[in-house]
Structure 1
Amino acid sequence: MIKIQQLSFSYPDGKNALTDINLSVYPGEKIGIVGANGAGKSTLLMHINGIFTGEGSVIIDGMECDRKHLEKIRARVGVVFQNPDDQLFSITVYDDVAYGPRYQGLPKEEIHSRVEKALAAVQMEGYADRNPYHLSGGEKKRIAIATVLSMNPDILVFDEPTAGLDPRARRELLELLGRLPQTLLIATHDLELVDQLTTRMIVMNAGKIVADGPGKELLQDQQLLFNNGLI
């Protein structure tokens, strides 16, 4: 579903963020991307739906991630940001979840159906008329996920999904993520999440992939975790 070849990226200030990234992702995979702050995890994820564009090749479902294919790719790849306030901007939950389908120009009945299904998927039925800014952190995370699910994506990308959550909200979010059928890529410091939800783990350091393999095996490599600022 995703094929990245020789991807490199530097920020406008000259800071190098990614160097020669090569990565293939197959349908249905659940992948944890781990690394210390500044390792390049979030920057890598932002290339998967064209938020950032670096040197190299990013192909999603056979389409080069470029301006020509950007709209189709963003319908297939849903990104859930670390801070849900970056995603929630409407007066009601309904309007936030409906934003993507409305942008696609779908009929009103289809939009309503997608909103209902997305809210049901994150167990937030009955919240459609609520103001997102009055919700708890865990509730906001769920609504942010619903805004992406309403687009019917094949791939879901999460940036630090458990950051800032209390233990109960974190547990409920993990249960939700475990039920999602889409291909998942999750950038996180939460090694327990990686152990529980993913089958493949990618370790990044200084903008490079330094390890890629079964999570259960890599999580047992204490030297690898230590060398890359994970313990």
Structure 2
Amino acid sequence: MTDGLTQILRADAKENRDRIVEVAREVFASDGLGVSMREVARRAEVGPATLYRRFPTKKDLILEAFMDEFHTCRDIVRTGFDHSDAWRGFCYAIEQLSELNAQNQGFTEAFISEYPGTVDLLSHRTETLRAFTDLARRAQAQGELRDDFVIDDLILVLTANRGLSTTPHDRIRAARRFAALMIDSFHTAPTNHTLPPSPALTRSIITSQTEPTD
């Protein structure tokens, strides 16, 4: 009886924590980092005491929400990478990253500006881009992804896609359509034209704001 009750309480606590982090991500993305802790608690439908018990300071909550965003991005690429069909995995990654990116609404930039060096962006970005590069090469070897695709093209997609975060309505639908258009352009086809030279975007993305604090 006691063990069962303990497990229920732990499950409830985890559910509350996960809901708080999810809501915090959404709120900080849509309304900025200035949103109060009480407002986060209200939207997460938990009491302020519950929120402060899990996250004693607002910085703790912002950091956890940001790391959750990190992990979601990484898991999307890993899921695509693990797909038995590389082209389907590639498409999945483009679709999911586009949706995630469209909902971010400047949260990443705001976090980096407010807490520079708090997170080791270099390791995260390098690991994620390396996995995506390997996935793309497998899709090319399959004959499904055009041969002239380079990792800078992913950065182009995410940079352009970020503009959808300012769309007032239906950002998810817009992100899905955008991803479908991009995937169609990446697919090997007789009508593919030679692309102009790629801009050197990846290096600047990886190396920006990368010095972690001790």
Tell me the TM-score range normalised by the shorter chain.
under 0.3
TM-score where L is the length of structure 2: 0.27
Higher relative contact order (CA 8 A, sep 6+): 1
**Structure that is richer in strand per residue:** 1
TM-score where L is the length of structure 1: 0.26
* Greater Rg over alpha carbons, structure: 2
**Structure that is richer in helix per residue:** 2
